[in-house]
A and B are shown apart, each in its own frame.
Chain A
């Protein structure tokens, strides 16, 4: 049904006004002039200003997003035209290309789970999502990884976006899954959490390993396994505990404590490589979580993790 020219002209003015006020809202992906939908059916005859949003929010979720300055309330009308809100995310079709890979770890996945590619916006360094945790104060789901995966820069402030997959694997702002919230570097632990900001489902599973079953303390000689973005499933043996290591992060040297050292079983094979940062080391037999991977050495082959209990305590979270 065509819209008469006078109505379209007035609609264009209303559209400009709506764009001026709302187009730069973080949740608004497009604004147009068209027929609204009511009850799943398009209502012809009375065009509206349509706000396209990444996520349709209402109630407490909207309140929280507004409080966090992620979005602003949308008006029910602009000038003489009612408004409508629809969900939609758009990208130029030539950006649809992603590096082809057969590894699911490097792809956009739903549900989110441990062992898959993540990074923060503005950084190309690859990292691994440790998994889903729950804020002890609120019960809200959050994502866990290293400080140098979710933050990576000493000038970074809370709110920076986390992508899945990470930028190295083709992730963009369309793949935002969380926003960095807090970290544990102040207590010598390379760990951080990010508040979820996406509609993807969440799982406590580790890719190709299954669910994490509780927590346990590391013990010398313990056989462990991890699922990581770079080297996938690898096994190792705990050869060192209660360690303290000096590492350089950007232009600063920091001491990381509660370090667990993991080496190849019988001295052969690979346990980790760059890009596995953020992986969870699990007891190989019980699948209880032991440590959060954060560093390593190639010569000799070693992986370093932080005991998981102090990491969770410092961040005020529990494994989901």
Chain B
């Protein structure tokens, strides 16, 4: 099934910047970006902010917000290295 490409508007980019300002200093946070997730009750996808944590990290003490400026925030795992 083809997935439609989506352009990101300035509001979403600003929300990502806000999230970075809040969380990026935490050593457990490896990457913050803008992503998509399927809608729970309808076809299609919606834009979300993603916080990538090191594997095995318990995100609960990090106080990651559920939304920033109305954009949902999701926690994912990622361990990145140059190469």
Q: Which of B45-77 contact A (CB under 8 A)?
A: 45, 47, 50, 52, 55, 77
What separation, in Å, do the CA atoms of A190 and B81 have in the docked complex? 12
B7 to chain A, nearest CB (A): 6
Contact: A242 with B5, CB < 8 Å?
Answer: no
A50 interfacial by beta-carbon distance below 8 Å: no
Q: Is the interface of A mostly helix, strand, loop or mixed?
A: strand
Contact: A241 with B33, CB < 8 Å?
Answer: yes
Contact: B78 with A297, CB < 8 Å?
Answer: yes
Tell me the number of A-to-B contacts counted with CB atoms below 8 Å.
97
What separation, in Å, do the CA atoms of A304 and B81 have in the docked complex? 9
Provided the pairs A220-B8, A222-B5, A242-B8 are in contact, do residues A259 and B33 lie with their beta carbons within 8 angstroms?
yes
A117 to chain B, nearest CB (A): 14
A207 to chain B, nearest CB (A): 19
Contact: A249 with B82, CB < 8 Å?
Answer: yes
Q: Chain B residue with minimal CB distance to A266?
A: B1
User: Which of A221, A245, A298 contacts B5 (CB under 8 A)?
Assistant: A221
Contact: A261 with B35, CB < 8 Å?
Answer: yes
A281 interfacial by beta-carbon distance below 8 Å: no
Interface 1/0 per residue, A256-281 and B, CB below 8 Å: 00010100000000000111110000
Chain B's interface size range is 20 to 34
Contact: B32 with A295, CB < 8 Å?
Answer: no
Contact: A294 with B82, CB < 8 Å?
Answer: yes
Contact: B24 with A221, CB < 8 Å?
Answer: no
Q: Which B residues are in CB contact (< 8 Å) with A242?
A: 8, 13, 16, 33-34
Q: Chain A residue with minimal CB distance to B55?
A: A299
Q: Which A residues are in CB contact (< 8 Å) with B8?
A: 219-220, 241-242
Contact: B79 with A297, CB < 8 Å?
Answer: yes
Contact: A219 with B16, CB < 8 Å?
Answer: no
Provided the pairs A241-B33, A246-B31 are in contact, do residues A220 and B47 lie with their beta carbons within 8 angstroms?
yes
Q: Which of B3-22 contact A (CB under 8 A)?
A: 3-8, 13, 16, 20
Q: Which B residues are in CB contact (< 8 Å) with A275?
A: 83
Q: Which A residues are in CB contact (< 8 Å) with B82?
A: 146, 148, 190, 247, 249, 277, 294-295
Q: Chain B residue with minimal CB distance to A152?
A: B82
What separation, in Å, do the CA atoms of A302 and B33 have in the docked complex? 13
User: Which of A125, A190, A220 contacts B36 (CB under 8 A)?
Assistant: A220
Contact: A244 with B20, CB < 8 Å?
Answer: yes
B residues near A, CB below 8 A? 3-8, 13, 16, 20, 24, 29-36, 45, 47, 50, 52, 55, 77-83
Q: A220-B8, A261-B31, A298-B79 are in contact. List 12 more A-B contacts (CB 8 A).
A: A220-B36, A221-B3, A246-B31, A247-B80, A247-B82, A274-B81, A277-B82, A277-B83, A296-B83, A297-B79, A300-B78, A304-B80
